[in-house]
Amino acid sequence: MESFETERLLLRAWRPEDLDDFYAYCKDPAVGPNAGWKPHENKEESRRILRSFLQNDDTWALELKENGRAVGSLGMHRGRLCGLFPGPGEGREIGYALSRAWWGRGLMPEAVRGAMDFAFRKAGLEYLVVAHFPSNARSKRVIEKCGFRYLKTLHGSYADYRGVKRDEVVYRITKEEYPAGRAG
């Protein structure tokens, strides 16, 4: 996985030594449920998931340049939403999580814009899709700040970690819709 930087972040491959940072934000009950996954119960659970990130090579660690700590993640997957809402050419579904200690500082919009730039300028992708649960106003703000266009609300389409069916609000942005001059 190729690394890239934004003003305050290094988006890079996860490393085994990130386990403590990863577990620290994944155990927080305010983080995972907003993305549909349960808070991690112990470090071993985090270790298993971190291993999957290392194997799949489609999720970046969000490392703060100021201190070298991993405070979140951003994935760019061949997800099911790409199949439900295909765009022109090849696309990916993005998803993200951020430590609650860093909410409200503009880090996630910064990371998503960096990922968009990477997707359209380096990876040759034609579109990105993203979704949030209606209750996740923070994620909605990130998506709207980054210029994604609303597509549709899918009712009861996502079964979360408890098996509860949840609605998803889906957005897409194409390379052509990406801010002028940035993807060319």
Query: pLDDT tens digits for 161-180?
Result: 999 999 999 999 999 999 75
Question: How far apart, in whole angstroms, are the C-alpha atoms of residue 150 and residue 34?
Answer: 19
Between the CA atoms of 34, 123, 151 and 73, what dihedral angle is there, to the nearest 10 degrees?
10
Query: pLDDT tens digits for 110-166?
Result: 999 999 999 999 999 999 999 999 999 999 999 999 999 999 999 999 999 999 999
**Helix ranges restricted to H, the chain:** 19-26, 32-35, 43-56, 80-84, 107-117, 137-145
In which band, very low, low, confident or very high, does the pLDDT at 88 lie, cut at 50, 70 and 90?
A: confident
Question: How far apart, in whole angstroms, are the C-alpha atoms of residue 78 and residue 98?
Answer: 21
- Region 25-29: mean pLDDT is 97
pTM score, whole prediction: 0.94
| Nearest of 171, 175, 101 to residue 139 by alpha carbon | 171
CB-count burial class (<10 Å; 0-12, 13-18, 19+) for 90: middle
End-to-end CA distance of the chain: 22
Which residue has 């990406």 as its token pair? 178
**Cα radius of gyration (the chain):** 16
Domains in the chain and their CATH numbers? Answer: 4-174 (3.40.630.30)
Residue 144 neighbours by CB under 8 Å, 6+ apart: none
